[in-house]
Structure 1
């Protein structure tokens, strides 16, 4: 068990985790709005546009989005599991989701909402998580268990997905 519910990844582990992420997800970061998607989205994945959050009153919807994703991720790792929180080219973390975000607890590191950078949550085995793309304005959730826990709520909040399993969803 970790001594603190949130720990910064030290340099060697930071490099190892990011190298694995680049390799397994074919990560191609770019600040170009035309370079999309930046990862090879897993087979069990759904990606939503975040454009609806640009409305005049997005905060209630954004707060609910964060809550849905955080609860879904926490449920996937169980009571003693940990997650990785990756912020491209910045400090990244390992944390115990059951020990953060509540009264008297530290806040979740980062957010599922990509506020100016790629924000990524990953299970330790890299099979479940989220990928927030700031320049596309999208959020990809992956892993069957996470999708089962969140998809209905996400569609209510954000509308129809833009991609499933990395493939564009038709508009008809």
Structure 2
């Protein structure tokens, strides 16, 4: 089973178009519940970074059903469908995160295929915004240390 499946160019364009329609990307305008967290203070602190990456994976897994894939987007680069649960359970099968959870120069976005829950990493703001009731609840139930600052 392939854990990371690259979207075709037309699929990727369609997802970005929907993101623009739903959220006015790159700005976020939505009626959905959201919370924005600053991550400016994490750079240079591997403990914060490791904890945030680990918990981001757990948070996103917690809002999906077994076998459910999420979309993983990297602005102006290849986009993917990924089974995060399978990735965590089989780390050696495909032990590369093609798209990080923490923005380090590009917009990194994870979202459910229904566009109801979005993990939105903004590189210049140095923020992560969680959008959607399920994702917000899961985030606050497993709050990364970096988000407690």
TM-score, normalised with respect to structure 1? 0.78
For 1:149-164, list aligned pairs within 5 A.
149-154=138-143, 156-159=145-148
8 Å CA contact 2:22–2:30 kept in 1: the answer is: no
User: Which runs of 5 or more residues in structure 2 are unaligned?
Assistant: none
User: Which runs of 5 or more residues in structure 1 are unaligned?
Assistant: 29-37, 161-172
Establish whether residue 24 from structure 1 lines up as the match of residue 11 from structure 2: no
For the aligned residue pairs, the C-alpha RMSD in angstroms reads 1.8
Change beyond 3 A, Cα 1:12–1:134:
same
8 Å CA contact 1:99–1:105 kept in 2: the answer is: no
For 1:18-57, list aligned pairs within 5 A.
18-28=16-26, 38-54=27-43, 56=44
Separation in structure 2 between the aligned mates of residue 66 and residue 52 of structure 1, nearest angstrom: 15
How many residue pairs were aligned?
A: 147
Aligned residue for 1:48, secondary structure, equals strand
TM-score, normalised with respect to structure 2? 0.89
Change beyond 3 A, Cα 1:41–1:69:
farther
Match in the other structure for 1:63: 50
Change beyond 3 A, Cα 1:93–1:122:
same
